[in-house]
Structure 1
Amino acid sequence: MDFDMLGLQPRIVAKLAEQGITDPTPIQKKAIPYAMQGRDVMGLAQTGTGKTAAFGLPLIHTLMKMGVKPEPKTAHGLILAPTRELAKQISDNLKAYTQGTHLKIGIVVGGQSINVQIQRLAKGTDLLVATPGRLIDLIDRRAVRLDQTKFLVLDEADQMLDMGFIHALRRIAPLLSPNRQTMLFSATMPKQMSELADAYLTDAVRVEAAPPGKPIEKITQGLHYVAQSEKTKLLIEYLDGHRDEMALVFARTKHGSERLMKGLVKAGFAAGSIHGNKSQGQRDRAIEAFKTGDLRVLVATDVAARGLDIPGVRHVYNYDLPNVPDNYVHRIGRTARAGATGRAVAFCSAEELKELRDIEKTIKKAIPVIGGRPPEPPQGQKAGGNRRGAKPGGPAGKPNSNKRRRRPNRGGAKARAA
């Protein structure tokens, strides 16, 4: 099946072909026909499988057929994303799909001039991509009206739940046209997702390209047991083995990410960082430098677990295991993009055995042990099952000694949208 067979307008298909996009992904094959019929859609697919096109292409197709110019301060369609990075990625993709057409794509996120955004919204927008917080700021300033918005997309809806955006959604949704089409896309399916779907979707069709929460099969996963105090040394050993390849490293806290990045720079790596303490300009510059290869290692908190679509990322390191197990799926999904292969290595200290159990329960499999030995859990914490450790040996075949202990470092908070 190709895009022609999905019924998309020839002009859209031609634009995709110019970009080398000729074969729809499984989620696109399943979602696009229903979306073009005007049905509400709940789409479940892993990261890196083309969810943006799955909802973006049918919206573009419908708006091109409508041929109606949006009124000032209005938007025909609204796409909500939990983070600035994801919003920018969606906006960039939509602009590429609509290049040369009359459709206008807008984006409003925090960390940028709200006055500039107000000026851009004044003329009306066909498709508006927004983070919930900034959108509410603009609604309060009467810079945008949603009463003519007939299309709503919630992208990465599970992360919106994790980050507490349900309250913002409850305020935004009633402002939209009651006769609207709503689509919800996610990589995982927590219990609250059904409640969200029941509240905002009508007679929705559920399409699924892979079991929710199941990591992409082309990612080689590995688990390395290591004392917290030895993690930086171990990470450097791994990175030394592929200095010319791009690696994304996830840490739990903003201060920890910055400290780790500086340690890697001191060790001779071209490294940068993105986290909540960075301005939007700093985050954008770091991501651009990573994309162009000026940086080979990018250290990030979960603010970047979604929204980074960089095909060249070959390695993902979970320096700290995430507090929210679903975030493990999103983190490792930053590699093996667009059909490529990738490797994801998780570091686990004694203090993180509970997080490891939660992750493996979510992905419904044990992560293969590639180094270290299972440590004894801290007092009061249950052991992580009857797991056998790998033979001693680090990434370069060096002996490991992971018997050192330190106080639990369980700091950090859920990712914040900006």
Structure 2
Amino acid sequence: MSTTDVAAATITFTEDQLDPYVTHAPTRHWLTGPGLPSVGALLTFAALREDGLRTLAESADGGPDLAQELRDRLVIGELLAPAGMEAESILLDGGTGAITTSYLLELMDDRPLAPSLEALVRFAAVTEELADLRGQFASFAGRHGTEAAADASRRLLALFEEGTDGQVPPYWKAAALIRPLALATGPGTERGLTLDVPGRLLDQEFGHARVARFEDVDFPATLTHEPTRRFLRETGLPEDTILFQLDTDVPLQTLTEYAADDRSGTASPFELPARADHLIRLGHLVEDNSLVVDGATGEVLNWSEPEARLFPLNTDVSTLAFTLWLHHRERAIDKYLSHELTTQAYDQLAATMLHVLAAVDQTATTTDADWHYWTRAFQDEAGGAL
């Protein structure tokens, strides 16, 4: 069983406790010296305090699908996963010191995570520094925009390349390319919305002609939330993305008007929610889901027609615009990388995307993952959203 330095929340081992599991000298030095943090923002090694060192074969009861080369790997922790996603186990090769990941219930393969414990701890630490804008990323405090995001991405990627011969594992490559995108927008100040999304951000990403901006005559009378009206007039929303199509053929309709107009001459097959006259339909999500905004509060909701239910989607139109921008940017990045991230580590990429979304919009963390549209869409590898 490991010992813990309570003051530093660090897990360490004695030399005797490492026998016979760990023979790699630098790894033994790390585990008896600096040790491992019990839990962080990305990783947790808490299982070491509870169970001590154990092999994958012991953890999986020697399952029939367990590859021979994995049997002696040590299960030392987990990658923290967003709600609704299975946690991936962190494995240590006691003979070489290499760190990989695998799912305990699948056990068919593993993926590289870091060349050593020292690198793993360092990679996690600098990623947390980016998230908190401290340490090596303190100079980014107060900086926002695509240039700041690109600068932070280059710096983080360079830090990951140290000690990996430039071969950055997919998990950290996704972190370096996607996590800094949270810097692309700043916090809302005078406009009454969560984020300050400049119109040029959407224009540069989607093309000016593909971003729709509305006039007052396009708004139903029940759209009274002025910050939302101003955003739709001045910043706008992309007309067509993989996961969302904006209504542009007719002036924006309330959900009541949409139900009647879309099914002219027939009764609507679904029961409309309360205050349907105050819910303005902005467009179409896949699988008979509508994206609506509460005209009084500006909250953005997902209306599921098959279930006749409303689910939280985004805090407001500014975080909606960021979500659409983030998704489009990720697809462009992965295309540039010849789809390296989606083919090698789709689940890790999805988790990274959800971490970024949660950093700017709490809706992603406060809504049941089974009912949050973006959470389900990003996780759907078969659907190929990313």
Report the TM-score, using the length of structure 2 for normalisation.
0.26
Ranked by relative contact order (alpha carbons within 8 Å, sequence separation 6 or more), the top structure is 1
Larger radius of gyration: 2
Report the TM-score, using the length of structure 1 for normalisation.
0.25
